[in-house]
Amino acid sequence: MLRLGPLAAAGRLLPAGPRFGPPRPSGGRVSLSRSRPPGPVGDRGLLARQVRAAAGSAGGGRSPVLKTPKGTRDHPPAHAALRDRLLAAVVTCFKRHGAAAIDTPVLELRETLMGKYGEDTKLIYELQDQGGELLALRYDLTVPFARYLAMNKITNMKRYHVAKVYRRDNPATTRGRYREFYQCDFDIAGQFDPMIPDAECLKIVHEILSDLQLGDFLIKVNDRRILDGMFAVCGVPDSKFRTICSSVDKLDKIPWEEVRSEMVGEKGLSPEAADHIGDYVQLHGGLDLIEQLLQDPKLSQNKLAKEGLGDMKLLFEYLTLFGITGKISFDLSLARGLDYYTGVIFEAVLLQPENDHVEEPVSVGSVAGGGRYDGLVGMFDPKGRKVPCVGVSIGIERIFSILEQRVEASEEKIRTTETQVLVASAQKKLLEERLKLISELWNAGIKAEVLYKKNPKLLNQLQYCEDTGIPLVAIVGEQELKDGVVKLRVVATREEVNVRRESLVEEIRMRTSRP
């Protein structure tokens, strides 16, 4: 099992070291003239002058603004290395559960996305009409997956998808909220017996959050049918179900008094109905609460609510078999505002530890969410044929922000490369021998580097290994060449051993293999 626990305690981020090319013009196109002789120097110098001229004319003589757009950011090598390990841990779990990978375009037809996200539809990035199709950037990976199933007439599939999505949100980058960010989705499509796929999705969330060792967490579960039944018995008109659901979805961010005020003042709900909702949404628990609500005189008479509570009871029985109910809470305040959910919904949050001033742990943010959406595929099928689906999305950006903060607070370094060995020389005029040796290593699949100098000092070569975390140095010298050996140095211990050249590859593999 791949764990990222050590990453949480791993160390100081390495400096980024970006490479700056010529600044890009802020407007217009650069036309490459052929008036100068072709060649790297002539073309590059001409391009640089034209870029500067274009930038100056477009910006009134000012230098171009060098920044990323709001809600986005660059990732230096240390960040990228940390993210790769995090994504690898998540994908390993998805594969462990038998999912196959797919990919879909970052662009979708605008009509594919519209009307699927409730009040969040306004956050979709719509693109200008380019004289053809009306397009938008994908908002999530679930709607494109449903479109993919309908378009290809697929009725049974277990898939995962890791890709970037885009939202015109007000970003809070300190809390891992961006306008461009990764989602990691796992979904099960097909007609199966109730709650078995749903339970597996919750098990996956539990496995990932346990493996990453982020701290204490809680997975909240509810059911859209229970919510709709609750709204009905509380006196909410059918036409207001979705908009009131969006208000309830804010309970993890603002107190009940503010949610009630929005329901009554902005959405026209009666104060009595809002108060009845308040009695229910403050309830949370486990099987005992489910049994209690099954006996509730109002909810038990509502067909939708009774059906949802029955499935919730079955879900908890399966979760008990998985041994994870200690981290699961049936929470009637959980709503998840997306319109396409039809059944079980869930959300995982990280908890702050208890202390003397707080009676119970406090949520510090959602790190996963999902649910059942049995009607979404049918919205795209010409004949309205439904494919039941349930899935989960891991909030990789929020998790990455947490790990990043922990790394920056420690003092160790994160390796940004996987280089196993540096090929070095102790004397001058051995560049050819270094290049011959590194070619042998590359051909054998060894990850190796060499400094780009004819006669580098040995001390500089060893220092490069120290700085970048390369564990081994293969040193060629005149005597080693005569004896048919290579001196292999372990950077951490400074131990040196002579290895026969024909045995070098195996020796490097043995010394750098992970237990």
Q: Report, as an integer, the average pLDDT of 266-284.
A: 91
pLDDT-based confidence at residue 33 (cuts at 50, 70, 90):
very low
What average pLDDT score do residues 244-270 get? 89
Mean pLDDT in residue range 431-454: 97
3-state secondary structure of 167: coil
The set of long-range contacts for 439-446, using a CB threshold of 8 Å and a minimum separation of 24, is 440/504, 440/505, 441/474, 441/504, 441/505, 441/508, 444/505, 446/420, 446/421, 446/505, 446/508, 446/509
Give burial (CB, 10 Å; 0-12/13-18/19+) of 172.
Answer: exposed
| Residue in this structure with the two tokens 């959602």, named with its chain if needed | 366
**What does the alpha-carbon distance between residue 226 and residue 197 come to, in Å, rounded to a whole number?**
19
pLDDT of residue 282: 87
Work out the number of other CB atoms within 10 angstroms of the CB of residue 498. 13
**50 annotated binding-site participant:** no
Paired tokens of 300:
């038990």
CB atoms within 10 A of CB 499: 18
For 48, 126, 425, 453, the CA distances from 476, given in Å and listed in that order, are 42, 59, 5, 15
377 DSSP 8-state letter? G
Task: With cut-offs at 50, 70 and 90, classify the pLDDT of residue 493.
Answer: very high
Residue 60 pLDDT level (bands cut at 50, 70, 90)? low
Question: Is residue 142 part of an annotated ligand binding site?
Answer: yes
How many residues does the structure list for the chain? Answer: 515
Residue 339 is labelled as binding a ligand: no
Q: Once rounded to an integer, what is the mean pLDDT over residues 252-261? A: 89
Q: What is the mean pLDDT of residues 322-327?
A: 96
Q: Is the pLDDT of residue 45 over 80?
A: no
One-letter amino acid of 324: I
Averaged pLDDT for residues 4-24: 40
pLDDT at 377 over 60: yes
Mean pLDDT calculated for residue range 188-196: 97
| Residue in this structure with the two tokens 């009725």, named with its chain if needed | 155
pLDDT band at 348 (very low <50, low <70, confident <90, very high): very high
Determine if residue 341 is labeled as part of a ligand binding site. yes
What rounded mean pLDDT belongs to the chain?
86
Mean pLDDT on 422-444 = 97
pLDDT at 54: 55
Give the residue-averaged pLDDT of 105-114. 93
What residues form DSSP beta bridges with 222?
A: 345
Tokens read off for 182:
């990764």
Is 340 assigned to a binding site?
Answer: yes
pLDDT at 1 over 90: no
Consult the annotation and say whether 212 binds a ligand: no
Closest CA to 25 of 47, 52, 48: 52
Tokens read off for 301:
């008479």
CA atoms 398, 399, 400, 401: torsion sign: positive
* pLDDT, average across residues 75-86: 91
Is 336 known to sit in a ligand binding site?
yes
Reported as a single tens digit per residue, the pLDDT across 151-167 is: 999 999 999 999 999 99
How far, in Å, CA of 59 to CA of 440, rounded?
52
Main-chain dihedrals φ then ψ at residue 328, nearest 5 degrees: -115, 135
**pLDDT reading at 254 higher than 90:** no
pLDDT bin (cut points 50, 70, 90) of residue 53 is low
The pTM (predicted TM-score) of the whole model is: 0.80
Question: Average pLDDT, stretch 397-419?
Answer: 86
